[in-house]
Amino acid sequence: MTADISKKLKTAEVEKISHIDYFKIAISVDCVIFGFENKELRVLLIKSDLEEFAGKWSLLGDLVKVDEDLDSAPYRVLRQRTGLDDVFLQQVGSFGAINRHPSGRVITTAYYSLINIRNHKLEITDNEVHWHSLKNLKDLAFDHKQIIESCLQRLRIQIMDEPVIFNLLPEKFSLRELQDLYQAILGIKLDRRNFRKKIALKNWLDDLDEMEDDVPHRPGKLYKLKTGLKKNKLIEAAEKVK
Amino acid sequence: MTADISKKLKTAEVEKISHIDYFKIAISVDCVIFGFENKELRVLLIKSDLEEFAGKWSLLGDLVKVDEDLDSAPYRVLRQRTGLDDVFLQQVGSFGAINRHPSGRVITTAYYSLINIRNHKLEITDNEVHWHSLKNLKDLAFDHKQIIESCLQRLRIQIMDEPVIFNLLPEKFSLRELQDLYQAILGIKLDRRNFRKKIALKNWLDDLDEMEDDVPHRPGKLYKLKTGLKKNKLIEAAEKVK
């Protein structure tokens, strides 16, 4: 290296001192946990503990510690608030409008996940954590409504290409349940015949040769996701954003 | 609201004071600008000005100002460093490993874009900004190699579904050029016949009824992207991450 070029260089310490005012931002993470129950897509919310948002609901989130990896923080939040520790969280995006947080400059990174409400028992210590139907979300704290919409948008794209949707269903399910779930996520009614044709083309399902029982309609055949597909596909989904 | 619940609430100010140590993080943005030239995918890099990374190349980036929206910052960086102000930047993800920056805790949000190198003349004031072939990227500063790989991964997924790839080509192009570009991005050789069949199925192109001239091989037909498709599809791509 010539002396000419090295003259322009500065140390990391000088860089920090000359930009000390920039090191005044806090980062939070927010978890958008989707579940499916009674034909409705739901999201896990907690009552805000800020006076400015009294009575409003917010996502499960927290500030990132200075000595904590960004991508580890949402797992900590989820574990502390719900006891869940076997859920894969996918980063969706960061939200950083200047005035989004009343405490000062806080930029948040949102993560989302899909869980089967019946299989994942939440160990909720805080009785203000609840599943909410996406259909009638009232005013939420912060920009959390926008964040949920972004995650929903990501989910809508992802369920077309990858078998991630099966994380929301029990192991055995009928095509009727699967269609109900697609409809809940996409927010539209699907034609039964077209839907079944398209799902068959994906080649995701094994016919279990069993029928539903104890249902208030004509029992349908039961299916499960092909062995090995679910886990691999979730890992692939992770690779895509990492 | 009952007194019982309001007891738990705190003001945003109290929240900040009790978490003042958390407000010590800086946020940066990094721009991954892809271009295509001589059958190679390229990325725009700048020599690092940090002593710790002497001689290494890095992405175009900067710290986010305390009074600047996160999503505005990469546009400022790009304008200041290259004069480009008509480029759409898509957020890809945030990178926040604890020790990724030698100055202290800096989390970065990465944005990517695709530009036609010939159509976008860079007004580069800093002679240390250059296009680099992705094939032989040496050691980069920070975690910038990982960030470029994440953006490339996003690009590979996106070019399968949406006509964003045409941002890298001149207005008129041959199917040979288009195949070269897909090959450069995917890093694999494609079968000419299969490629042409699949592209035809996408219904993205208009045949211009013109032939290439001045080429060192048999002239091919020229095509352009169907009118209206490019801009709309880029906006849609934006919607997907916002």
Q: What is the CATH number of the domain that holds A159?
A: 3.90.79.10
Instruction: Give the span between the Cα atoms of A114 and A116, in whole angstroms.
Output: 7
B233/chain A closest Cα distance in angstroms:
14
Tell me: the pLDDT tens digits for B60-80?
A: 999 999 999 999 999 999 999
Q: Which residues contact A2 (CB under 8 A, 6 or more apart)?
A: none
Nearest CA in chain A to B18: A103
- What's the ipTM? 0.88
Containing domain of residue A43, as a range? 23-241
For testing contact with chain A, the best of B11, B105, B150, B157 (most A CBs within 10 A): B105
pLDDT by position in tens, chain B (length 242):
444 554 579 999 999 999 999 999 999 999 999 999 999 999 999 999 999 999 999 999 999 999 999 999 999 999 999 998 888 899 999 999 999 999 999 999 999 999 988 888 888 777 789 999 998 898 899 999 999 999 999 999 889 888 999 999 999 999 999 999 999 999 999 999 999 999 999 999 999 999 999 888 999 999 999 987 865 444 444 444 33
Residue identified by tokens 């502390």 is A80
Look up residue A47 and give its amino acid.
K
Check residue B97 and give its pLDDT: 97
**Rounded distance between C-alpha atoms, residue A101 and residue A69, angstroms:** 22
Chain B hits for A150, CB-CB cut-off 8 Å, are: 241-242
Name the B residues in 83-112 with CB < 8 Å from any A CB. 91, 93-98, 101-105, 107, 109
The answer as to whether B210 is a domain residue is yes
A241 has a pLDDT exceeding 70: no
B209 touches A: beta carbon within 8 Å: no
The answer to the question of residue B18 being in a domain is no
Nearest chain A Cα distance for residue B146, angstroms: 9
Q: How confident is the model over B146-159, as pLDDT tens digits? A: 999 999 999 998 89
Task: Report the residue of chain A nearest B104, measured CA to CA.
Answer: A16
The residues that bridge with A95 in the sheet, in sequence order, are A108
The reply to whether A135 falls in a domain is yes
Residue of A nearest to B160 (CA): A161
At residue B55, the 3 state secondary structure works out as coil
- B105 with A70: Cβ contact below 8 A: no
Taking CA atoms, what residue in A is nearest to B153? A240
Is residue A4 in some structural domain? no
Q: Is the dihedral of CA B194, B199, B200, B202 positive or negative?
A: positive
Q: How many structural domains are present in chain A?
A: 1
CB-based contacts of A103, cutoff 8 Å, min separation 6: A26, A50, B12, B13, B15, B16, B19
**Dihedral sign for Cα atoms in the order B241, A236, A224, A133:** negative
Higher pLDDT, A241 or A135: A135
Residue in A2, A6, A7, A9 to test binding to B, most B beta-carbons within 10 Å: A9
Q: Is residue A235 part of a domain?
A: yes
Confidence at residue A25, expressed as pLDDT on a 0 to 100 scale:
96
The reply to whether A5 falls in a domain is no
- Residue A152 is predicted with a pLDDT of 95
Contact A70 B241 (CB under 8 A): no
**B27 contacts on A by Cβ (under 8 Å):** 25, 27, 96, 107
pLDDT in tens, A199-238: 999 999 999 999 999 888 999 999 999 987 865 444 444 4
Whether B121 is covered by a domain: the verdict is: yes
Give the C-alpha separation, B93 to A91, whole Å: 7
Identify whether B5 is part of a domain.
no
3-class state of residue A81 by DSSP: helix
